[in-house]
Each structure stands twice: as C-alpha cells, then as structure tokens.
Structure 1
Amino acid sequence: MVDLDTWPWPENTLLARLSPRSRRELLGLGHERECKPGTLLMRQGDPGNTVFVLRSRDTRVSACVKITAAAGTLFAIRVSGDVIGELGALTPNSVRSATATVCTATIAHCIPGNMFLTFLNEHPDGWQTLCRTIADRLAWSDQRRLDFGGGPVRRCLARLLMEFGESYGRPVEYGLEITVRLSYEELGNLIGAGEDAVGLAMKKLQEADLVCLRNRHIVVRDLEGLRKYSGLV
C-alpha cells in the first residue's frame, strides 16, 4: 500500500501544497488510471472538463506529462503532484487548450470537473492552492517569453536547467538528475532556440562542469553555478 502522506511530492506542485487531509480527499475522488508512455490524456480542441491529478508509480521515476500546442511544440512539463485540465473545469463549455501526452509510467487520478469544483469550495486551502499553482505557471511562462526575446542561448538554457533541477531534480552520485527526459529540440522549444544552438550551449555548460549527461538524462552538477552562469546573481 502506497503511503501518500509521506510521498515526496515535488515542491510547488498542487499536492505538495495541500494539507494532508485535503490531499487524501482529493486523491480519493474520481478513479485512477494507469497510463503507459504515449497515452493521450487530452487533445487540443477537444471538449472535456475532466481534471487529471498526476502521481508516479514509485519514487524512483517521476510521473511526466508533456504539454504541447499545435504542430507538437512543447511548452510545459507536468510531473507527479501536478494537476492538468483544471481550466476545463473552471470554464463551462470550453475546449482543451493544449495536448497532454504521458511520457513515463504515470497514474492519473481522473476527476470530473463538477466534483473538482465541489472539492475546491469545501476545502479552505483548495482555491488558494490552485491559484498559487496557476500564478507560478504564469510566471514560468513569462520567463520563457523573456528567453524568446533575446539573450545568449547558453544563459537561457542554464536558467531553464537550473529551474528543472530545483523542481524535478533527484539526488544522485553526480548531482541532481533531471527526471524528465527531454531532447535538444524540446529544450529549444522552451527557450526559443534551434536544436543546433541548444547542442552548442549544452557543450559549453558541460565544459564548465555545470551539467553532465548520464543514461540519457541531464544531471545538474552545480546548481549555484548555473544560477550565476545564467546571470541571476
């Protein structure tokens, strides 16, 4: 039996911020769906108000869902503890604004929109926690737009990997392994750079001993070094 009270929810996710009681009650709603990589949870333009709360099958590999827009352009990542599809519950008769595809073995708690709204209204920390989550996502999107506006690719990439290390990093022998596996093309989608430019920037970060590659995962070797390299201090 999985003890969801002691589960290591990633910082700043919805489930990490909810009280233990509210978390248990939210995860008790709807039904669980075990999703294999490649499973489509929602498609851009389709109707729907089901809310999906994500968790991983075990603590070794994070749940991961990639959020893409038209033409498959990646613009967000959601992990264990995150919620997706909440806008469908908040906006009557809306359609999905993005496509959500599972990329690691994930358990999705599927909650009907009206049931999710009832939960928010009945739990004091519900609305506040959801609003903080949405505000964080808007701030993250704003930073990505600033990255698109210019600046050296290596600095934009350093900032992105620093944020991923803080949010999705798993301690390993060499540093913090980013549990979400992303291609150079997908990293480029997030900072407005081409695949070749990302490859060159990654090489510079490796030469500076700030990151390394292990088993096709990016490992952050020096979090504070990335922060300085990106110009944030």
Structure 2
Amino acid sequence: MPTWPRTSFLGQLSDDTRDAVLRLGTRRRHSAGETIIQEGAPSSYAVILLTGLYKVVGLTEDGREALLAVRIGGDLVGELGLADGEPRIATVRAASAADVIRIGERDYRAMLDTYSDANKAVSKAMADKLRSASRRRVEFATCPTPVRVARVLQELAEAHGVRRGSEILVGVTLTQTELAALVGTTGPTIHRVLGEMRANGILATGYRNIRVLDEEGLDELARM
C-alpha cells in the first residue's frame, strides 16, 4: 500500500478510518492525459487520488487552459462541488499513470457523517485550498515576479521534491508556460526569471525538470 504525505487527505486519517474509506466507491486506473473531473460538469462525486500526479486546470476568458494547482496521491478533489452543489470550477487531469477512487455523493456524505477525522480532513483540505488561493491573489498584487516564482518553487519542492544529495529535484513535470500560469506571469517573463536564477546558481533546468541547487538562496529570494 502506498505511503501518503501526512498533510494529504488520506495521510490525516486514522488507520481504521483510512481502511474503511479505501473500501468505498469504485477504483479506476487512468493513463496520463485522461480527465478525472471536467470543468462545468455537474458535481455528483468526489475523487480520492491514490497514486500518480495530477494537474488542475481552468479555462481563461479567451479559451486557453491555465494551470491552477498540482495534486498528488493522497489528495481529495471534487469536494467543493459536493459542498455547494454547483458545477465543477476546474478540470483535473492525470499527468501520469494514476489510480483513484471515485465516491458517489451518497457514500461521500455517509463517510463524513460516520468518520469524524474524515470530516475534519475534508474541512482542512477546503480551508487549505482557500488559503492558498487567497495568498496567491495577494502575492500577484504585491510581490515582484522573482519572489512569486521562488515561493511557487518552494511549495512544489516541499510537496513533490525528491532530495538527491545536496539537490532537490522538483518532482513535477511542468512546461515553462504551465509554471508561468501558476505564478501569474507570462512565458517570456518566466524564461527571464529562471535564467537569472540559473545564473545565480539557485536552479538548474532541463526539459520539463527543475533542480534546486541552493536551498538557502531560494529561501532568501522567497522572503524578499
């Protein structure tokens, strides 16, 4: 059985509750690129992500997709739509081979009524997403782009990083366009900022991968 991060939905549950929750719903396996939740669709189920990497994307006013967040195994998605009954506000798509549990609304509500730690974990997941969105809006309005880039990379490295000696491989495959969407800037600007961070020895970049070479340098930039 996978080991999930302590801060994830599954990671916060007691062993007994987790075992019970994992018996709910229907297990599904998805290939990279498959859609788990579709923006605009009715909200009739939640999804527990068991393994894999997922990208949360939303449509901009001109019809382009913008990357909003990254999710991993252990996380819960789709809970907001079940909370307010409104259509999905974003698309969740597998970025790698992925296993999930799809839980219908009736079983989902029964889970919340039966297991207090699951109810608490769902509330925390929604609060964390709200805090993250609010913090990001403030940063967009007040922080220079290099600081926003550093903070996003900090978050990605903390949640998805793989330490290799003195380096941290940011274990999320992102294009520079996708990273720009997370930061709230343009492709040319993200290209320039990453170039500056490379020149200062903070990062090394390759095809769809980023390695943090100087953790303290990244932290210092994020605090500015």
Fold shared per TM-score above 0.5: yes
**TM-score between both structures, scaled by the size of structure 1:** 0.88
How far 1:218 sits from its partner (Å)? 1.2
Contact in 2 for aligned 1:50/1:89 (Cα 8 Å) = yes
Work out whether 1:159 is the aligned partner of 2:151.
yes
Q: Does 1:25 align with 2:20?
A: yes
Residue among 71, 79, 87 paired with 2:80:
87
* Residue type of the alignment partner of 2:10: L
Deviation at 1:207, TM superposition (A): 2.1
2:169 corresponds in structure 1 to 177
Any idea what SS the aligned residue of 2:177 has?
A: helix
Choose the corresponding residue for 1:44, options 39, 59, 65: 39
Q: Secondary structure at the match of 2:118?
A: helix
Match of 1:10 among 5, 8, 12: 5
Question: 1:205 — aligned with what?
Answer: 197
| Distance in 2, Cα, partners of 1:97 & 1:128 | 23
Q: Could you say which residue in structure 2 is the equivalent of 1:60?
A: none
In the alignment, the residues of structure 2 paired with residue 104 and residue 47 of structure 1 have an alpha-carbon distance, to the nearest angstrom, of 25
Q: Is the 8 A contact 1:18 1:125 kept in 2?
A: yes
Overall identity of the aligned pairs, in %:
26
Stretches of structure 1 lacking an aligned partner (at least 5 in a row): 57-62
- TM-superposed CA distance for 1:174, in Å, is 5.1
2:57 to 34, 52, 68: 68
Q: CA deviation at 1:214?
A: 5.0
Q: For the residues of structure 2 that align with 1:207 and 1:150, how far apart are their CA atoms? A: 25
Gapped regions of structure 2 (runs ≥ 5): none
Aligned-partner Cα distance in 1 for 2:206–2:167: 11
1:125-146: CA deviation from partner (whole Å, max 9, x where unpaired):
1111111111111111122112
Question: Cα deviation per residue 1:2-44 (whole Å; 9 max; x = unaligned)?
Answer: x24xx1x134211111112212211111111110011011211
